[in-house]
Amino acid sequence: MEQLVASLADGLLLGFVYGLSAMGLTLIFGVMDVINLSHGPIIALGMFGIFFISGGTAFGLHPYVALVLVALLGLVFGFIVYFVAVHRVLDAPHLSSLLATFSVNMMIIGVGTALFTTSPRNLDFSMGSIQLGSITLLGTRLIAAVIAILVTAGLYLFLYRTPPGKAIRAVSNNRAAAELMGIPSTQTLALSFGIGTMLAALSGGLIATFFSFSILSGTVYELKSFVIVVLGGLGNPTGALIGGLILGALEGIVPVFIPVSWVPVIEFVLFVLILLVRPTGLMGGR
């Protein structure tokens, strides 16, 4: 029983980070109807980002400070990807944007493999742990969850209280109408995409604080993000957070009963089933 609670707690903490990552994916879909298949590699880039900026080199910044830089880089990278790959295929059939973003995926992984090889890296970072009764909670995971919650709150404040945020919501509601009201849709779309990738990179950085990783790790989290997004509803950021928690809980509880290697199978079967039953997700779409 204790083991179950401990696993669950761990899973939930992870779930916040998963939710953050999925939020990026779902935001982009909600605003511009594009499923960003480069989501995974960008998570991996976030992992490498924090690794290089804080750990490996002359910078020697504290990881949580490096995280800010990683987020900013993620934002900028998103702009680039948007203008290079996405902008032109916005109004083309969905599959064009799927393939376009997947091509970016391939390019990142290709170059990344060449530069970094596929050997796993480790940030070797620890923030101690807390004891809650009989459960030990790792400091890094706790802080990561807190950061995820703070960023989510920040995102909401941004979307609902600031002009660019409101512009994003307007564009996602009805692009034509928003343009008529004078909202610069291209910049707004680019910003949305950038925020989406920023969240992905950020979540990657956070994951790197407690797991080892390689350029291919992003794919695993990308697939988890997909599962979360269909659980929580395409285009629904709150749903993404809740979906993340559900998945985290699932990952925490299930291995107590069956070998952990079966968890991915369950996740993917669930993914396909939800797509079949309710393609807009269990909690409804935007």
Partner 1 sequence: MNSWKYPAFWLTVVVVIVGGAVPYVTGSNTWRENMFLILLAIALASSLNILLGYAGYVSFGHIVFFGLGGYVGFYLIAEQAWSLWPATLAGGVAAGILALLLGLAILRLRGAYFALATIGVNEAVRTFINNFDLFGGPIGLELNFSVYRDYGGPATMQWITYSTVFALTLLVVIVSYGIKFSRFGLGLMAIREDEDAAMVMGVRTPMAKTMAYVLSAIVPGMLGVIFFFRNSSVEPHEAFRLHRSIEMIVMVMLGGQGTVLGPLFGAATYEALRGYLLTSPLFKDLQLALAGLLLLLIILFVPSGVIGWLRGRFRRLWRVLE
Q: Which of these ranges, 1-9, 82-90, 154-162, 245-253, lies near partner 1 under the rule CB under 8 A?
A: 82-90
Closest listed residue to residue 82, CA positions, set 206, 189, 162: 189
Of the listed pieces 57-65, 85-93, 145-153, 159-167, which binds partner 1 according to CB under 8 A? 85-93
Closest CA to 193 of 16, 17, 26, 67: 26
Residue from 58, 114, 180, 181 binding partner 1 (CB under 8 A): 114
| 105 makes contact with partner 1 (CB under 8 A) | yes
CB-nearer residue toward partner 1: 10 or 222: 222
The Cα–Cα gap between 90 and 189 comes to 10
Q: What number of other Cβ atoms are within 10 A of residue 279's Cβ?
A: 10
Per-residue tokens: 155 = 């995102």
Element counts in the chain: helices (H) and strands (E): 11, 2
CB of 227 to partner 1, least distance (A): 8
Out of 154, 184, 279, 284, name the contact with partner 1 by CB under 8 A.
279
Among 96, 129, 185, 214, interactor with partner 1 by CB under 8 A: 96
DSSP string computed for 84-106: IIIGGGTTS-HHHHHHHHHHHHH
Residue 146 touching partner 1 (CB under 8 A)? no
Residue 246 in the binding site for partner 1 (CB under 8 A): no
Residue with structure tokens 């970016």? Answer: 104
Q: Is 276 in the site for partner 1 (CB under 8 A)?
A: yes
Q: Work out which of 35, 45, 73, 200 binds partner 1, going by CB under 8 A.
A: 35
Q: Which of 98-103's residues contact partners 24+ apart within 8 Å by CB, and which partners?
A: 98/35, 98/37, 101/34, 101/35, 101/36, 101/37, 101/38, 102/37, 102/38
From 102-110, 145-153, 163-171, 182-190, give the range in contact with partner 1 by CB under 8 A. Answer: 102-110
- CB of 201 within 8 A of CB of 41? no
Assess 128 for contact with partner 1 (CB under 8 A).
no
Segment lying near partner 1 (by CB under 8 A), choices 69-77, 127-135, 192-200, 262-270: 262-270
Could you count the other beta carbons within 10 Å of the beta carbon of residue 25?
28
Given 76, 98, 137, 283, the residue binding partner 1 (CB under 8 A): 98
SS (H, E, C) 42-69: HHHHHHHHHHHHHHHCCCCCCHHHHHHH
CB of 105 to partner 1, least distance (A): 7
Position among 59, 65, 88, 186 found at the interface with partner 1 (CB under 8 A) = 88
Tell me the sheet residues that pair with 67.
Answer: none
Distance of alpha carbon 212 from its chain centroid, rounded?
Answer: 17
Of 204 and 281, nearer to partner 1 (C-beta) is 281
Footprint on this chain of partner 1 (rule: CB under 8 A):
35, 84-85, 88-89, 92-96, 98-100, 102-111, 113-114, 219, 223, 226, 259, 261-262, 264-265, 268-269, 271-272, 275-276, 279
